Amino acid sequence: MSRIRFFAALAAVIVLGVLTVGPASAEVRIDITRGQMKPLPIAIPDFAGFTAQESQIGKDISRVVSADLERSGLFKPVDPKAFIQTVASLQVQPRFPDWKAINAEALVQGKVESTGDGRVKVEFRLWDVFAEAYMTGWTLSAAPQDWRRLSHKVADAIYKRITGEDGYFDTQIVYIAESGPKNDRKKRLAIMDQDGEGHRFLTDGSELVLTPRFSPSSREITYLSYFKGVPRVYVFNLDTGRREALGNFPGMTFAPRFSPDGNKVIFSMAEDGNTEIYEMNLLTRQKARLTNNPAIDTAPSYAPDGSQLVFESDRGGGQQIYVMASNGANPNRISFGDGRYATPVWSPRGDLIAFTKQKGGQFFIGVMRPDGSGERLLAEGFLVEGPTWAPNGRVLSFFREAPSDERGRGQSVRLYTIDLTGFNERVLLTPLDGSDPAWSPLIP
Amino acid sequence: MKLRFLSIFAAVALVAACESAPSDTGAKGGTGQTTPAVSTGKSIVAGSKEDFVANVGDRVFFDFDKSSLRADAKASLAKQVAWLKQYPNYSMTIEGHADERGTREYNLALGEKRANSVKEFLVANGVAVARVKTVSYGKERPVALGSNEAAWSQNRRGVTVLN
């Protein structure tokens, strides 16, 4: 947020204005709790600009906003070729009949203006075409090269106003980029925007790395690295590019995740054939063991309020999901369906736990409530694994691996996204194969 | 010119031979063989790493989702113990591996259990504990590439890598 200053007063006035206008039921609105639905037609003309630079940024913003909204599966951007009103004329006043005629239910109007200090001011407004009413809008100032983030913020604002849910477009995904044959796989830590743009590698592939996860600030990543052949948990700082071992432990440390306040990392340590869950306080460097059981206890994940942990354990015979207090008290099994349950991840909303399930030779991505009820399977495959939540708890990412023959042919590992309803499954394109995705919180 | 070509060819062959050395961690072969074949007509020096791999056997296999030693694994490890007692200068790293039919983190834990089962057998039968380290690769380093039981049964393994 440091580089982007809100014109808060303007925004506040506009919001108050809207609140006094007509009843909410007349509004264009998407109820995203329903299953598959018809996506909402929305017109997103180029943001207007006077200079060549302003116009270019305006075009780029419109393109990225359209792509974000389209990918959500909830919106259908109207083909610009159908537009009747021109961008220039739109800046004076939306001519609603022109937009009704092409069945656009919502209209986005935007403008890019250089402010003389090397920055640009981006203004956007969202209109309800059939009610002929203003819905939301703001003006932000940013460095011109930050136009992508501005675009995602526009998309987030539209998504929020129309669905009533927080957006998830101004976010990043960290994952493991994979290449090479199955028996000599090169794995690199990589990061990108949620739409696949701004991709970069964070490690060079000289060491095996696995299971990256964001800190709540999105500026740090905890992951497993086999640096110098020793599997240990590390923390990578995106601002400094430095990485640091979490600590010195007698056994292999793995399966790390940050606590919701960012002050702790929770992880597993395997020692003498026994895997237990530990927490490490990053401020005091104190560690504590949270499980005490000869079984495999791993894959811990915090509830968003930090009070509880969900993890997997085979203490009952097979892999199952358990919930316990964050100090390790009162572990309770919550998964009781057929098959094995693994990799539980608590939703940022707190209402659901996503997991990987194995049953009948297939893998599944599913969700259940924290008490184990309401199990729903969203995706299936030869191997699907490692769900991660978008920060609004409405969309998940995971990876899917294809089987290979005895010469390794057919091998493929890709990232996917899917709506919580189980619809709108999409490949998330990456330069190489990809696995172990982790979705960031909304970027501050 | 012909001579130089030949000598390069010999060097490549030599490198290839080195690459079939026992270490399993950087397996580049892709042949999917369980025991690297070293017999190229040359004699193996008794007490060498090649001797251990070719004549003793550097690995044991596990049943699906199990870390307990099967009877055939115990027999193989008994042979390893005898050899390791005869050549006490080697230290070793036991690698634990899993097949691809499990989740990543669970398989890391399972691989560690398998490596530890091998270590415990060696130590219980007289190999000094200070000589034995373990590392788990979970499902990250298969030797057999297929997605079928024949491959998976070779990938669920504990490998004794001599240092």
Please write the tens of the pLDDT for every residue from A252-281.
999 999 999 999 999 999 999 999 999 999
* Closest chain A residue to B141, measured at CA: A183
Instruction: Give me the residue from B105, B120, B141 closest to A343, CB to CB.
Output: B105
pLDDT digits 0-9 by tens, A281-329 = 999 999 999 999 999 999 999 999 999 999 999 999 999 999 999 999 9
pLDDT digits 0-9 by tens, A354-390 = 999 999 999 999 999 999 999 999 999 999 999 999 9
Q: Which CATH class is domain B2-162?
A: alpha beta
Instruction: Give me the residue from A185, A254, A401 closest to B108, CB to CB.
Output: A254
Tokens encoding B56: 């003793």
Q: Indicate whether A134 and A183 sit together in one domain.
A: no
Q: Indicate whether A203 and A79 sit together in one domain.
A: no
Q: Indicate whether A181 and A156 sit together in one domain.
A: no
Confidence of residue B40 (pLDDT cuts 50, 70, 90): low
Which chain B residues have a beta carbon less than 8 Å from that of A314? Answer: 106
Q: Is residue A345's pLDDT more than 70?
A: yes
Q: Indicate whether A151 and A199 sit together in one domain.
A: no
Confidence of residue B32 (pLDDT cuts 50, 70, 90): very low
Range of the domain at A215: 172-439
Query: Are the CB atoms for A28 and A106 separated by under 8 Å?
Result: yes
Q: Indicate whether A430 and A291 sit together in one domain.
A: yes
pLDDT of residue A33: 63
CA distance B26 to chain A (A): 7
Confidence of residue A16 (pLDDT cuts 50, 70, 90): very low
Confidence of residue A11 (pLDDT cuts 50, 70, 90): very low
Query: Which of A227, A230, A252 should we substitute to test contact with B (largest number of B Cβ atoms within 10 Å)?
Result: A252
Confidence of residue B41 (pLDDT cuts 50, 70, 90): low
Q: Three-state DSSP class for A154?
A: helix
Domain assignment present for residue A444? The answer is no
Q: Indicate whether A57 and A205 sit together in one domain.
A: no
Which chain B residues have a beta carbon less than 8 Å from that of A436? Answer: 104
ipTM of the shown complex: 0.91
Q: Rounded to two decimals, what is the model's pTM?
A: 0.88
pLDDT of residue A339: 96
pLDDT digits 0-9 by tens, A216-246 = 999 999 999 999 999 999 999 999 999 999 9
Q: Indicate whether A148 and A213 sit together in one domain.
A: no
Query: Which of B65, B99, B112, B123 should we substitute to test contact with A (largest number of A Cβ atoms within 10 Å)?
Result: B112
Strand partners, A419: A395
Q: Indicate whether A249 and A374 sit together in one domain.
A: yes
Determine which helix (DSSP H) or strand (DSSP E) holds B40, and give its type and residue range.
Answer: none
Round to whole Å and give the CA distance between A263 and A215: 9
Instruction: Report the pLDDT averaged over residues B82-99.
Output: 98
What average pLDDT does chain B have?
83
Query: Are the CB atoms for A338 and A359 separated by under 8 Å?
Result: yes
Q: Does the distance separating the beta carbons of A211 and B147 come in below 8 Å?
A: no
pLDDT digits 0-9 by tens, A93-115 = 999 999 999 999 999 999 999 99
Instruction: Give me the residue from B30, B106, B140 closest to A312, CB to CB.
Output: B106
Q: Indicate whether A188 and A148 sit together in one domain.
A: no
* Closest chain B residue to A320, measured at CA: B106
Domain count across chain A: 2
pLDDT digits 0-9 by tens, A381-404 = 999 999 999 999 999 999 999 999
| Domain harbouring A290, CATH code | 2.120.10.30
Q: Indicate whether A159 and A199 sit together in one domain.
A: no
Instruction: Give me the residue from A183, A255, A382 closest to B145, CB to CB.
Output: A183
Domain assignment present for residue A145? The answer is yes
Confidence of residue A32 (pLDDT cuts 50, 70, 90): low
Query: Are the CB atoms for A66 and A78 separated by under 8 Å?
Result: no
pLDDT of residue A29: 73
Instruction: Report the pLDDT averaged over residues B134-149.
Output: 97
How far does chain A reach from its first CA to its final CA, in angstroms? 6
**Where does a domain end: A113, A143, A163?**
A163
Round to whole Å and give the CA distance between B52 and B37: 12
Instruction: Report the pLDDT averaged over residues B74-89.
Output: 98
CA distance B1 to chain A (A): 35
Q: Does the distance separating the beta carbons of B146 and A406 come in below 8 Å?
A: yes
